[in-house]
Amino acid sequence: MNSIELCRRLKIDFPVFAFTHCRDVVVEVTNAGGVGVLGSIKLSPEELDMELSWIDERVGGKPYGVDLIVPGAMQGREEDPDADAVLGQLPDRHKEFAAGVLASRNIDASVIDDETRKESLYFSNNARLSGADRLLDVVFRHPVALVANALGVPPAQMVKRGKENGVLVAALVGTAEHAVRQARAGVDLIIAAGGEAGGHCGEIGTMVLIPEVSAALKAHPQTTLLAAGGIVTGQQMAAALCMGAAGVWCGSVWLTTTEAETPPVVKDKMLSARSSDTVRSRSRTGKFSRQLRSAWTDAWEAGGGADAAAHAIADRAGHALPQPRRQARRGRPRRGQGAQHLLRRSGRRHDERIPDRARDDAGLPGGFPRGLGAAGRVHRDRNMRGVVNDH
């Protein structure tokens, strides 16, 4: 589908898809003529049901979507381990590294223990097939128009249930080869995310990636291409359409809008950031993720002093991070999702509870996802409709 056909299929005014963890943003973008897409990785099935019901009441039947994160290959992907089993994968030296980063910023890390980390286990649980199934059961009870998977080929049941319910299935990719694999698996929308994208991203720039994926998908005309990665203006959206995309998928640009639930101190950091203030780092989940540079990312990348042992785990020799890992390939462990998030997230949750001044000094140890385009071009707090209209 081209952009006109896509808009007709979804009955929308603009081929703008807004990924967000905030239900208010979903509603505002959908009601403005785009498609809001709610990230569900942080939600239990009960919480997701509440959020989608709230959205249903406010969009009047207009289209919106839900995004999941189910890695295509991950150690324990088909298991349903208990909390102690997951936490048991965290070596003491990594816990000491996380506590050391906080201590270096004069933050008491003594309250961060395994009980605190259990509060963040939703990420690991929802990334497994059993967790995804529970979320999908909720999703398909609501009139969603789209369901997306953010890492790897969507589980077969997601594709099957999407087609049975007339719901478009989307997936994010970072290379043309991955796009072809997704198309062959039956995915309807391919979201090609360049290295400028906030959150998980590859290393190929958007300007190079979109034409490559567009050319690769010519053999799969049933699949529609969306562009992502540093797209925050109408000019950039027009460029993406010229390169072969039918629409755009944006995330970071919504974080600083008036409707977003982004904490004020974090929003201030994002609004003042430049494109050079972001970094691709494995420090969030073990996979490369673009985020604002912080005390946490600096410590992770530095690899000196007290954190040398922890940093060595992520070196180029291929040592795996302490998280549910992909099965070894060619004798080298593959990184997955899960326990690494528990280190970073528990520190960030604690960091968010301290006073603004101290938190500012702390440099936000967790590191917040932020795309290059948004960091370099968004310099004021705008409402949602203003952002959509700019596109």
Q: What is the DSSP string of 232-279?
A: -SHHHHHHHHHTT-SEEEE-GGGGGSTT----HHHHHHHHH--GGGEE
- Is 310 in contact with 93 (CB distance < 8 Å)? yes
The confidence band for 287, taking pLDDT boundaries of 50, 70 and 90, is: confident
pLDDT of residue 341: 53
What percent of the chain is modeled with pLDDT above 90?
Answer: 40
CA separation, residue 104 to residues 69, 241, 265, 298, 339 (Å): 33, 47, 20, 12, 23
pLDDT of residue 122: 57
pTM here? Answer: 0.76
pLDDT of residue 321: 37
The confidence band for 210, taking pLDDT boundaries of 50, 70 and 90, is: very high
User: pLDDT, tens digit, for every residue of 227-241?
Assistant: 999 898 889 999 999
User: pLDDT, tens digit, for every residue of 50-71?
Assistant: 999 999 999 999 999 999 887 6
Alpha helices in the chain (DSSP H): 3-10, 23-31, 45-59, 83-87, 92-104, 114-117, 122-126, 129-139, 156-164, 176-184, 206-216, 234-242, 264-272, 295-302, 308-312, 339-351, 356-362, 372-377, 384-390
- Is 129 in contact with 137 (CB distance < 8 Å)? no
Distance separating alpha carbons of residues 188 and 163, to the nearest angstrom: 9
pLDDT at 323 over 60: no
Buried/exposed code over 335-366 (b: 16+ C-beta within 10 A; e: otherwise): bbbbbbbbbbbbbbebbeebeeeebeebbbbb
pLDDT of residue 387: 65
Strand-pair partners of 16: 248
Q: Both tokens of residue 26?
A: 């979903």
* DSSP H or E segment with residue 292: strand 289-292
Distance separating alpha carbons of residues 360 and 387, to the nearest angstrom: 27
294 vs 381, which has greater pLDDT? 294
pLDDT of residue 19: 94
Q: Once rounded to an integer, what is the mean pLDDT over residues 110-131?
A: 66
For the CA atoms of 225, 257, 259, 279, the dihedral, rounded to the nearest 10 degrees, stands at 70
Write the CB contacts of 145 (distance below 8 Å, at least 6 apart in sequence).
10, 35, 63, 64, 65, 167, 168
- For 19-28, 120-129, 172-181, 189-198, which range has the lowest pLDDT when averaged over its residues? 120-129
The confidence band for 120, taking pLDDT boundaries of 50, 70 and 90, is: low
Q: Once rounded to an integer, what is the mean pLDDT over residues 90-97?
A: 76
Q: Once rounded to an integer, what is the mean pLDDT over residues 360-364?
A: 40
pLDDT of residue 360: 44
HSE on the CB side for 197, CA within 13 Å?
30
- For 1-10, 31-40, 190-199, 341-350, which range has the lowest pLDDT when averaged over its residues? 341-350
Strand-pair partners of 334: 326
- Is 158 in contact with 166 (CB distance < 8 Å)? no
Q: Once rounded to an integer, what is the mean pLDDT over residues 182-188?
A: 96
pLDDT of residue 101: 75
